[in-house]
Amino acid sequence: MSTDTNRQVAETFTQAYGYTDDERVRAVFIVGSTASGEDDAYSDVDMMVAVHALIPNGERLERLRAIGCRNVMLAIAGMGNPALPVQSQVIDKFVFRDTWFDVSYHLPHQLQFCFDYVTLLDKDDLTSQLCRASQTYSNAELKARVQSDLRLLHARTIRYEKYVQRGEWVGLDLAAIKNLLVDLVMVLNDRPSYNRYSSRISHLLADFPLKPDRFDQDLLDLLHLDNRETWARKIELLHRLEADLKALCETRWGPIAMFDDAGADEDGNADEDGNADERRRTQMNADERR
């Protein structure tokens, strides 16, 4: 389905649902692939609605039915939903005119995001408070971000090693590692304001020039190969990716300190006896056991 068609359906829904005349509703935005122009035949329409007070479930259902919506799933997710990059009060999913919709409702202070959007309705100039994907960052801010990513990646790699050594396969989760690897490559390629929940991440990564050799395939292997059979290979991959990404970051932003303890110098190098990294690993394991 083309972008114009999805936007037209979203505009039609906004009018039919009566957001304009509802004083509780203060703004309506299209987000996701329809807003960025990347939607296709498999895309749904993602909308964010700013409200002063949440419209009750029964009223939302009645209004959706009245305009011909079907397959309605009210409150499919709500506060703390990990699948949405901002805070929401509730999310409804339904079909309107043969198009799937995800409509999330937010209090005005929850509208803080840095990805593409299209404003369909704005009664209180909330659009001016939003952060467009074109926001710029200083080199100091970017360096601090990649330093944080690299440190967390190091800690998560230690966590992965501990879990596989225990044979803890159910509790093993590589989602955080994936997010950190993706964020490092995005920042390196001047895309710090990307939407980490985009359904086009793999396409973006494939086109980037600044990334470790075989990064795309290594990332897929980390995510999809059986941990029980390939954990040793994955540990090797993680250490290599960390080293390669750190080298790329330091080429751009200069030395990046990985550790803050007295056993490492200001650039994060091990002390004379070479044991700073091992001491930090031991301390991290001790902290996690507490």
Most confident of 31-40, 196-205, 281-290: 31-40
pLDDT at residue 163 is higher than 70: yes
Predicted pLDDT of residue 147:
96
Residue 279: its pLDDT value, please? 47
Domain extent listing, the chain: 3-129, 139-256
- According to the model, what pLDDT value does residue 131 have? 67
Say if residue 269's pLDDT is above 70: no
The string over 28-59, giving b where at least 16 C-beta atoms fall within 10 Å of a residue's C-beta and e elsewhere, is bbbbbbbbbebbeeebbbbbbbbbeebbeeee
If 0-12 CB within 10 Å is exposed, 13-18 middle and 19+ buried, where does residue 206 land? exposed
Is 248 a residue whose pLDDT tops 90? yes
> In the beta sheet, which residues pair with residue 28?
49, 121
Fold classification of 3-129 (topology level): Beta Polymerase; domain 2 (3.30.460)
The pLDDT of residue 79 is 57
Q: Check residue 272 and give its pLDDT.
A: 39
- The beta-strand segments (E) located in the chain are 25-31, 45-51, 70-78, 90-96, 99-106, 117-122
Lowest mean pLDDT among 108-117, 166-175, 246-255: 108-117
Please state, in angstroms and rounded to a whole number, the distance separating the CA atoms of residues 123 and 243.
50
Lowest mean pLDDT, pick from 146-160, 223-237, 263-277: 263-277
Tell me the per-residue pLDDT of 69-110, one tens digit each, with 9 for 90 and over. 999 999 876 555 544 555 677 889 999 999 999 999 988 887
Distance (Å, whole) CA 275 – CA 259: 12
Position 77 scores a pLDDT of: 67
Question: Which distant-in-sequence residues (6+ apart) come within 8 Å of 130 by Cβ?
Answer: 29, 111, 112, 113, 117
Whether the pLDDT of residue 264 is over 80: the answer is: no
Cα–Cα dist 178/222, whole Å: 8
**Which has the higher per-residue pLDDT, 128 or 206?**
206
CB environment 225-258: b (16+ within 10 A), e (fewer) = eeeeebbeebeebbeebbebbbebbbeebeebeb
**Is pLDDT above 60 for 159?**
yes
Q: Is the pLDDT of residue 43 over 60?
A: yes
Q: What is the pLDDT of residue 240?
A: 97
In terms of Cα–Cα distance, which of 37, 40, 44 is closest to 10?
A: 44
Span 185-226, pLDDT tens digits: 999 999 887 777 677 788 889 999 999 999 999 999 999 999
Alpha carbons 90 and 87: distance in angstroms, whole number: 9
Instruction: Tell me 171's DSSP state.
Output: S
Decide which of 275 and 68 is more confident.
68
The pLDDT assigned to 33 comes to: 84
Q: Collapsing DSSP states into helix, strand and coil, what is residue 29? A: strand
